[in-house]
Chain A
């Protein structure tokens, strides 16, 4: 089976740093992805991790530990426009390219 867990909601203040965690249990592993989805809009790709460690891309960074089945998305210098849902997704094996998504974490940034 496959299970992806992330917190349902988080709040933070403009200018702050927030870390969104994701844990997963899958029958195989071939990459972890983070997507951003603003209300009423389509998800957009943020990051991809397949090896352990931190991937940095501007204000956003994503970390992966395969042995722990754990990832986090770090958002720095928060802006109001970062208020959105953040979706963790896992590609579970080498013979399929489907992504399995978690339920998403709704982040609200306050001034």
Chain B
């Protein structure tokens, strides 16, 4: 596609449930990033991939969060036993030229945990 695509755009779930958020990056972009953003805050880094491997997962808050990118393209962010504090917009971005740091962001998946 022309841009980074994220699904679902909105997800409402109950505390304790499992959630998957999907990101389809721009074709040919080898780097893929996950951030989350709360209202009035900047994006908070979670994890980034170079190809299929997680190059840096230091931002994942705890072991309830996991992300995969098995074929080096689409990525899935998985959140187990969701908590109300997980409510945020989850942003995915991809990049081709890591020298300039230009990330192309998707519109985000808004997660609400009731």
Residues of B within 8 A of A98 (CB): 33, 45, 48, 56, 58-59
Residues of B within 8 A of A43 (CB): 43, 91, 103, 105
Q: Which residues of chain B from 45 to 97 have any CB-CB distance to chain A below 8 Å in the complex?
A: 45, 48, 50, 55-56, 58-59, 91, 95
Residues of A within 8 A of B104 (CB): 45
B1 contacts the other chain (CB 8 A): no
Inter-subunit contact A42/B59 (CB<8 Å): no
Contact-residue bracket for chain A: 20 to 34
Q: State the Cβ distance, A21 to closest chain B Cβ, in Å.
A: 15
Q: Number of B residues whose C-beta is below 8 Å from A?
A: 28
The complex places the Cα of A89 from the Cα of B102 at a distance, in Å, of 11
Residues 41-57 of A, flagged 1 when their CB comes within 8 A of B and 0 if not, give 11111001000000000
Q: Which residues of A contact B (CB under 8 A)?
A: 4, 31, 33, 35, 41-45, 48, 87, 89, 91, 96-104
